[in-house]
């Protein structure tokens, strides 16, 4: 079995950037229907200032990978011309998800365009969570052998649920 991935809460675990001081508390929803204020200020996380270099944060590096891993110069040029649009697209997709959630809960109804935004956001959340949990191709085997008291277990259930939700949405769009 592969070494255990980092445990959330462990100082060695990669983390997303710290939200700004004026960000809403974690878990507090954005305004229903508007989607303007994202939890943990996704807009600030994806804001880009400075050179077109790969992010130091492992989660952002996974969400914004180099196009040319073996050619840093070409990767930097590609990143310089494409990364801001990629970041803006991720923020727009997250805003769409929040804007399409019913304010009083219940069934979510999506247009084809909104569903595509949901798919992009679900994929980004899964990628980010996968980095934090150290998920590999063999995670299902590792998950089946995980001690029920392991603190990663709940996060792995969330990861599996997001995978199910994404797959269900893909099938509904066929």
Over residues 25-51, the pLDDT tens digits come to 433 333 333 444 455 566 565 665 544
Say if 53 falls within a structural domain: yes
Residue 24 scores a pLDDT above 60: no
Q: Which two tokens stand for residue 11?
A: 């100082």
Which of the pair, 56 or 94, is modelled with greater confidence? Answer: 94
Residue 20 scores a pLDDT above 80: no
- In the chain, how many domains are there? 1
Say if 27 falls within a structural domain: no
Give the chain's mean pLDDT: 77
Secondary element (H or E) of residue 61: helix 58-63
Secondary element (H or E) of residue 73: helix 72-100
Q: How many residues would you count in the chain?
A: 174
Which of the pair, 49 or 126, is modelled with greater confidence? Answer: 126
Find the farthest-apart pair of alpha carbons in the chain and give their distance in angstroms, rounded: 50
Query: Could you list the residue range(s) of the whole structural domain that residue 109 is in?
Result: 42-173
Measured between alpha carbons, how far is 34 from 37 in angstroms, rounded to an integer?
8
Which of the pair, 38 or 138, is modelled with greater confidence? Answer: 138
Average pLDDT score over residue span 62-90? 91
Average pLDDT score over residue span 3-22? 43
Say if 2 falls within a structural domain: no
Say if 56 falls within a structural domain: yes
Residue 10 scores a pLDDT above 50: no
The pLDDT tens digits of the residues spanning 102-121 come to: 999 899 999 999 999 999 99
For 50, left (φ over 0), alpha (ψ -120 to 50), or beta? Answer: left
């Amino acid at each position: 079995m592969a070494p255990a991935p980092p445990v959330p809460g462990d100082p060695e675990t990669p983390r997303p950037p710290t939200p700004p001081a004026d960000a809403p508390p974690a878990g507090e929803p954005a305004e229903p229907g508007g989607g303007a204020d994202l939890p943990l200020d996704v807009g600030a996380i994806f804001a880009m200032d400075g050179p077109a270099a790969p992010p130091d944060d492992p989660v952002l590096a996974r969400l914004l990978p180099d196009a040319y891993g073996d050619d840093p110069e070409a990767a930097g040029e590609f990143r310089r011309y494409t990364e801001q649009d990629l970041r803006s697209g991720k923020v727009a997709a997250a805003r769409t998800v929040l804007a399409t959630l019913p304010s009083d809960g219940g069934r979510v109804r999506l247009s084809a365009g909104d569903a595509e935004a949901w798919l992009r956001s679900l994929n980004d959340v899964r990628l980010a969570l996968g980095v934090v949990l150290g998920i590999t191709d063999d995670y299902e085997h590792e998950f089946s052998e995980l001690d029920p008291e392991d603190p990663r277990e709940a996060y792995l259930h969330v990861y599996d649920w997001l995978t199910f939700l994404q797959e269900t949405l893909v099938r509904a769009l066929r």
